[in-house]
Amino acid sequence: MKSTQKVWLITGASKGMGLEITKAVLKNGDKVIATSRNTDTLLEKIELNAILKERKLQLEDNLLPLKLDITNETAVESAILKGIEKFGQIDVVVNNAGYNLLGNMEELSDAEFRKTMDVNVFAMAHILRYVLPHLRKQQSGHIINTASMMGYMSYPGNGSYSASKYAVIGLSEALAQEVRPFGIKVTILVPGTFRTNFMNEDTLNVAQHKIDAYNLDTQVEQFMGLDGKQLGNPKKLALVVIKLPEMPNPPLHLPLGSDSYRAIVEVRKNEKKEMEEWKTLSLSTDFKKK
């Protein structure tokens, strides 16, 4: 059962999962600080009039769209302060904005690799750094960080993206322990493939320096070939997300999509098998007990 009206901060709110979460939150009667590089696109896509009419809400009272480059630390701090000035508090943070780059390790430039990490890891850290003092002061809050099934496994050409999502998981696991004493909860979303524009050629980023031996063009073609065929429904994902803050004990790790769940279970099974196979070698490095 829904308790009280909450204020959500959602990054990457103008498309994909972020857009669907924003719409679901508004329909649920909560308020949203919605950040995007393009707020005009956000307002066009969100079907605000229908949502607000249905809920008998006023736009200016329930939505604060903010144009934001989340890699700009100063801008992030300013956006959070504007949101709190508008609504008085922040209860739920959804770090959703993301960046994908295809390229094999030898093909990736330092700048390309760093951009993946800047958007997917360091920008998320900016959000956390400036929102946590407010959550800690109010002794409550729920942080929802979007990782990926690619944070548990990787494939050729996806190394930089996987590296960033492994980092999101590790950071979030530590964060959950750090903030628990302050009544703040953390959930890591681990989506599989969802039917958004993530695999669309208009949003896909590809390494500039291609090396023929790696057949990157073939990898890109295979990746884009999944566009429109993904198993996951982003509207259903959004309905799950809006339930999380109402749970007294929400999950820390939450795979979303049958592909994500099955792949992670298989990875863990294979890891356990490998650990047992090399157990003797692993244990051989300890100091011998006297």
Which residues are known to be catalytic?
161
Range 21-25 contact pairs with CB under 8 angstroms and sequence separation of 24 or more: 21/94, 21/96, 21/237, 21/238, 21/241, 21/242, 22/46, 23/47, 23/51, 23/238, 24/235, 24/238, 24/239, 24/241, 24/242, 25/242
Q: Which of 206, 224, 239, 4 is nearest to 108 (CA)?
A: 206
The angle formed by the CA atoms of residues 154, 159 and 165, to the nearest 5 degrees, is 70
Helix (H) or strand (E) holding 150: none
Residue 261 dihedral angles phi and psi, to the nearest 5°: -60, -50
Query: 282 is written with which tokens?
Result: 């692993």
Would you say 194 and 17 are in contact if contact means Cβ atoms under 8 Å apart? yes
Q: Beta-carbon neighbour count of residue 282 at 10 Å? A: 11
